[in-house]
């Protein structure tokens, strides 16, 4: 009885492999690769905009290190999870690895574009343009 259940389980894996053209380990590796790509690309896109908050601008008056402790981990986490979820959903819907990879990359590109359009660090007004002495 146990042998029959094991053969049915193995047959299901072989059927899934035959239907998609890849085995589940390859699909999992591709999902992890896409998540790593997103976790790397998101901070690279985010960093130039956050540089003002990190170095502080003129005489460090606008330094805000919370972008390193709050925003950076959220950017990395979002960069990893967005393509991973897109990959998982597209793989489930299409049952093909290449369209799922294209959907995940397009979703990552749209998420990075949305990040650059939406996220702008808080900038203090320039002290040289104040009310004067």
Per-residue tens of pLDDT for the chain, all 133 residues: 555 555 555 545 554 444 555 677 777 788 889 999 999 999 999 888 887 777 776 666 667 778 889 888 999 999 999 999 999 999 999 888 889 999 999 999 999 998 888 876 656 555 555 555 5
Which structure tokens are listed for 47? Answer: 């960093």
Q: CB-based burial of residue 83 (10 Å sphere; 0-12 exposed, 13-18 middle, 19+ buried)?
A: buried
Q: What pLDDT, on the 0 to 100 scale, is given for residue 44?
A: 93
User: Tokens 């960093």, residue?
Assistant: 47
Instruction: Please report, in angstroms and rounded to a whole number, the separation of the first and last CA atoms in the chain.
Output: 90
* Pairwise CA distance, residues 101 & 21, whole Å: 14
């Amino acid at each position: 009885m146990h042998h029959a259940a094991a053969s049915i389980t193995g047959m299901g894996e072989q059927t899934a492999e035959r239907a998609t053209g890849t085995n589940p380990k390859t699909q999992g590796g591709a999902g992890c690769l896409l998540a790593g790509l997103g976790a790397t690309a998101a901070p690279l896109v985010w960093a130039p905009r956050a540089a003002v908050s990190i170095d502080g601008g003129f005489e460090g008056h606008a330094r805000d290190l919370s972008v390193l402790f709050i925003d950076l981990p959220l950017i990395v986490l979002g960069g990893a999870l967005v393509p991973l979820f897109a990959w998982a959903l597209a793989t489930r819907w299409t049952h093909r690895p290449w369209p799922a990879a294209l959907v995940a990359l397009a979703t990552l590109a749209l998420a990075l574009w949305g990040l650059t359009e939406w996220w702008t660090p808080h900038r203090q007004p320039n002290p040289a343009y104040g009310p004067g002495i």
